[in-house]
Structure 1
Amino acid sequence: MTWELSPLTAERVPEAADLVDHWYGRARRALPHLSGRGFPPGLELVQARLAETGCVAAAVTRRSATSGFLVAAPLDTDQDGQGALSVQPGAARVGMGGFAVVTGHEPEALRELYVPVAARLVVQRRLVHHVDMPADDAVAMAWFRLGFGLDHVRGLMPIKVRGRQPREVEGLAIRRAGPGDLAQVGRMAVESARCQEQSAVFVPQPEPVLAALRDRYADTLREPRQAAWLALRHGEDVGMVVLTPAPAGPVVPPDTVEVAEAFVEPFARGEGISRVLLATALAWAYDSGYRYVTARWRSGSRLSAGHWPNLGFKPVAYRLSRVLDPRLG
């Protein structure tokens, strides 16, 4: 197939949106819990990507028809805020709906698109590139051939009416956290973040970010649509889980709650505490009108990468990443 590189002009946007609708529809039919549900149309997603400040876009055509497109935009966060825990300085992102190509030609089409877009990002000193996409392994492989790796996985699980509960843990008590428990919740959130410095994640956790994390859930502990639970054994805090509303998106249904934080003290792991914590939290979530729960984890985390799938979370989205050599001129 002969590809012709061109700008992603306004008249090509509807064709780009059709590519997104076709791919996302096919991907969702293959993913658990997503088939048949209503999601944002491709046109809305493409327009959102093009509206991002400083975006860089390209399209490829064949016989005058748009056969693929790619939109990347700078990704900056407050380096003392929560985003700094997962986004490096000098990053750019291809967000959800920011690319799609004709089925069956992903490797060659994405290569034609990424090369010129990446060159413009490098000129801007954007040397960390992220791609958000549905959990489609065939399309992910095309990005892997361009030097990307799997960084984050988002999982989804339906919340069921109370049924079989996890086995009890001797001496364990679960209670809902309130505003007066911010210190305990903040301390365990920091300990959870510090685990990211270990193998095989190796993500630094700057002290200013950790300091802000101690107070991050102050509003959560007061809001009726958000909640946290503490696990205590013989009166000692041994774990916690925090649930917050999940923003709806291309792979996240609107009635979904997110596991924002989860932690169990190292000495108490392996006893089933996290299962009891999550079951308690999800009973509240179901009674509060939520029907799905989502969690996001780093694919290289020894603790998380096996834990969340074992609890029943099925992958529905990936974040891919590529870090370029900072010696580039």
Structure 2
Amino acid sequence: MTVAIAPLTTEHIPEAAQRYDRWFTRARRPLSQRSWLADGPVRGEELLGKLQTAPGLEACRALDGDGNPIGHLAAIPVDLSADDPAALRSHPRSALVPHGGHALPSGRESEVLRALYVRVAARLVDDRRLVHYAWVPAGETATAPWSDLGFGRELVHGLMAVRPRGRQPRGVEGLGIRRAGPGDLPQIGRMAAESSRRQRESGVFQPQPEGALAALRLRYADSLGDPRCGAWIASRRGEEIGMVLLQPAVPDPVIPESCVELAEAYVTPAARGEGISRVLLATALAWAYDNGHRYMSARWPSASLSAAGHWPAFGFRPVAYRLSRTLDARIGGTPGTY
């Protein structure tokens, strides 16, 4: 069946938003999670409206043989300086398909996405953007069409229900937990940078520029003085060996309104395996519940040997994945020479 490609412009946003809302409701997560996870606000029109104003947007829509719109794809350019903390998790010159950036017809997902991506990717490559990211809800319906294009899971977005205090984890001998404040920025920043630096290792192999790590040390200055945020430091025998930091989460199609984000968590390698992380997280969960939060979100690299098993064991379940595709750098040469 024929798929034609046409520009996606402002007048097409309301229709595209309705199509996105229907697609996302169908694809948002596996059936096994629907019994306990709250839905985030889909707000397709709001998401697409923001996308339409993004500088450098590459967007198009798919039409069937009768000229009816059946899908869309929109990618925004990502340009990060070497000292931007965001460069610790994303390539500094890349492109991102965010939530709201694509919707596909049932039964023709791979076919339509392929036609859309061929058009958008060609423009991205012409602009020397060879790393492409896409946020999709967890589940085969959303991920399979991207897999057909060579995309793989790279970052996991997990969600966990926050419940009233139940059975607390067993204490760790000699461990003290205290609430962190603005004066603890050096300790929080140091541990956040140490946590991030470990992503250089196998099998994540994510570059961690020193300038961005230096900026990360100062990133949470405002959070430590914000009553909407919470941070705790674990100490033993006068040594600070762990921390956890929570911030308000931004609601989106996979994140409900009453959610707090696990922005940072760290335990020094020499102290791991003793249950310190569980004590820190239990403290954070109790604070979150008392402050009206009913869900907690976290993100981790899918290739991380420690994180990939650690956070699901605590109860975080995948609700979205950031998929990625990195093209061969030789593709930037003269056509026919690579």
- Could you state the TM-score of these two structures normalised by the residue count of structure 1? 0.95
Q: What SS does the aligned partner of 2:285 have?
A: helix
| Distance in structure 1 (CA, Å) of the matches to 2:14 and 2:183 | 52
Alignment deviations for residues 211-237 of structure 1 (CA, whole Å, 9 cap, x no partner): 111121122211111121011123321
Which residue of 1 is the match for residue 51 of structure 2? 49
Which residue of 2 is the match for residue 21 of structure 1? 21
| Distance in structure 2 (CA, Å) of the matches to 1:21 and 1:216 | 34
Which residue of 1 is the match for residue 79 of structure 2? 76
| Distance in structure 2 (CA, Å) of the matches to 1:308 and 1:280 | 16
| Distance in structure 2 (CA, Å) of the matches to 1:11 and 1:218 | 42
Q: What SS does the aligned partner of 2:234 have?
A: strand
Paired-residue identity, %: 56
Alignment deviations for residues 301-325 of structure 1 (CA, whole Å, 9 cap, x no partner): 1111111110000111110111112
Letter in 1 for 2:277: S
| Distance in structure 1 (CA, Å) of the matches to 2:165 and 2:43 | 34
| Distance in structure 2 (CA, Å) of the matches to 1:217 and 1:5 | 44
Q: What SS does the aligned partner of 1:141 have?
A: helix
| Distance in structure 2 (CA, Å) of the matches to 1:69 and 1:28 | 17
Contact 1:12/1:66 (8 A) holds in 2 = no
Letter in 1 for 2:159: L
Q: Displacement of 1:11 after TM fit?
A: 4.2
- Could you state the TM-score of these two structures normalised by the residue count of structure 2? 0.93
Which residue of 2 is the match for residue 290 of structure 1? 293
Aligned pair count reads 328
Q: Displacement of 1:91 after TM fit?
A: 0.5
- Residues 239 and 59 of structure 1: is their aligned pair in 2 closer, same or farther, counting only changes over 3 Å? same
Query: Which among 135, 157, 162 is matched to residue 132 of structure 1?
Result: 135
Query: Which among 182, 202, 205 is matched to residue 202 of structure 1?
Result: 205
Query: Which among 154, 158, 169 is matched to residue 151 of structure 1?
Result: 154
Unmatched runs of 5 consecutive residues or more in structure 2 = 334-338
Which residue of 1 is the match for residue 62 of structure 2? 60
Is 1:189 equivalent to 2:192 in the alignment? yes
| Distance in structure 2 (CA, Å) of the matches to 1:139 and 1:51 | 25
Alignment deviations for residues 133-192 of structure 1 (CA, whole Å, 9 cap, x no partner): 211323212111111111101000111111111122122111111222222111111110
| Distance in structure 2 (CA, Å) of the matches to 1:233 and 1:104 | 57
Which residue of 1 is the match for residue 336 of structure 2? none
Q: Displacement of 1:34 after TM fit?
A: 4.0
**Larger mean Cα displacement after TM superposition, 70-79 or 304-313:** 70-79
Q: What SS does the aligned partner of 1:221 have?
A: helix
Query: Which among 320, 323, 326 is matched to residue 320 of structure 1?
Result: 323
Letter in 2 for 1:68: G
Unmatched runs of 5 consecutive residues or more in structure 1 = none
Which residue of 2 is the match for residue 212 of structure 1? 215
**Larger mean Cα displacement after TM superposition, 91-100 or 168-177:** 168-177
Q: What SS does the aligned partner of 2:143 have?
A: helix
Is 1:167 equivalent to 2:173 in the alignment? no
